[in-house]
Structure 1
Amino acid sequence: MLASAIKTGLGIGRDAALALIYPQACAVCRASVESHDDLPACAACWSETRLIRELAICSRCGAPLLSSEIISQCQLCSSLTFTAARAVGLYEGALRAAVLDLKRKPYLGTRLRDLLLELARVEPLHRATCIVPVPLHRQRERERGFNQAAIIARAIARRTGWPVREEALIRVVHTQVHRTLMDERARRESVAGAFAVAKRRLIEGENVLLVDDVFTTGATVSACAQALLEAGARAVFILTIARVVRAEAEAGGIR
C-alpha cells in the first residue's frame, strides 16, 4: 500500500513537471499532454482513437467487420499463413502517432504498454510461449539504431515472463521500404523469401507471439510466420500496435 502511494505521488510530480517545466504538445492535435503516461498523444486523442476491442473483428486476422455481418471470418485472410492476428486499434490518431514516434526513438508510453499487455493476455494470444520480434535487416537496423519490434517484444516480456527470441528469426533480404500505395500482391512479392530461422531450437514446438508495429496487408508477418512454421513452430500469433484498414477490405464489406 505504501509502495502504491509512493508510486502515485511520483507520477503526480512527474506529470506536474511535464506540464510546467517540460510541456509537450500532443503529436495529433498539438494540445498539451497532461500525463507522461499518455505520450506521445493527449488523453482526448487517445479517447477518440478506435480500439479493436470496441469493434467486431475477423476471428483469424483481426480485421474489423461491419457490425451487421454475421460471419466470424472476413474470407480475405485465407492465403495468410499465421494462426491468428490482433492489433490494439486502427492506424489513426494516438496509435498512428505512437507508431511514428517509436520509429524515431525506442520508447513505449505506459498507456500503450498496458494496451499491448492487455491484448497479449486474452484469447488467442495468451497461448503464446515465447516472443519473436519481426526483424529488420542489419543495414536498416544500423541506420535506425534499434528495432522497434524488439522494443515492443521486450516490454511485453517484462510483464508476462515469456522469453524473447530475438536471434531466432533474421531478415536475409534487404527489401525496399513498403510504400503506402503498394497493393497486397506487391507487398507479398517484396518479402517473399526475405526471412529465415537462424536457430530452430529456439522455436521448435513453441507457440510464437510475433510482434511488429503495424499490420497493413499482412504480407510481412505472413512471410515471417511461414518461416517459423516451416522451422517447427507449433503456432504463430501476431500482435501489432495498429491495423491499417485496406481499400480491398472495404470493397469486400469490411471497414
Structure 2
Amino acid sequence: MNANTNKIALVTGATRGIGLETVRQLAATGVHTLLAGRNRDKAVEAALTLQAQGLPVEAIALDVTDSASIAAAAQEIERKHGKLDILVNNAGIMVDEADKGVSGQSLATWRTTFDTNLFGLIDTTQALLPLLRKSDAGRIVNVSSLLGSISEHQNPASFIYEFKGVPAYNVSKSAVNAWTVHLAHELKDSGIKVNTIHPGYVQTDMNKSGDQQNGELSVPDGARTSVQLALIGNDGPTGGYYYFDQVLPW
C-alpha cells in the first residue's frame, strides 16, 4: 500500500500557478490534498478539474488574511480528517510599484504585502499546528524566493544583486526565511520538519510584464521543490532554505 494515501496535505493559494501544480503533484503521489483558495467557488472549480483526472483532491476555502477564514478551515480539517500531515504555505502577493524604488513604496504597500506573505503565513501555521502535531511526520514548507536572500542581495555576482524594484516583496520573503528558522528550532524535537524554498524564476502570472511572459522554469518545475520538501522522510532536513537539492544562502 502506498504510504502517501494516508497523508493529508493543504496548499494555500492553490487555485492557479505554482500552488495548483503543487496540489496536482502531491495528489499524484497518493496524498489526499486540500486545495485552498480565498474564493470557494474557484477552489471547487480547480479541485473538480483535478478530480476528473482521478486525483484525490478536495477544495477548501481559506483566506490567509482573514483569521476567521483560517479558523473555519482548521475546524473543517479537524472534523473531516482529524489531522494534517503537510502544510505548504504557498499563498503570496507582489504589489510593489517597480518605479518607486526602495524608499518610495507606500506604507500601504508594505502592510498589504506583509499581511499576506508573512502575517497570513504565520496565522495559518499557528492555527494548523495542533493538527500537524497529530501527524506521525508533520511537514511545513514555506514558499519563499531567492529574492529573500540577504546574502545574494549583497553579492555583486548574483543575478538578483540589482533586483531591488520589489522591496516589500523581497523583505517579506526574508522575514519568511527568519520565521522558518525560528519555528524549525522550536519544533526540532517534535518530528515536524520546517523548511523554506525558492521555486525558481517560474513562468507564472506574477512574473508577467503586460503580455510578456517572463521566467526560466515551467510551472511543473516550479512546484518540484515544494513537493520534494513536503515528502521528505524522517532523516530529511529541517530549518533549511532550498532550491531543488541546492542549499541557498540566507
User: TM-score higher than 0.5 here?
Assistant: no
Larger radius of gyration: 1
For CA contacts below 8 A with separation 6 or more, give which structure has more relative contact order: 1
Higher share of residues assigned helix: 2
Structure 1-normalised TM-score?
Answer: 0.30
Structure 2-normalised TM-score?
Answer: 0.31
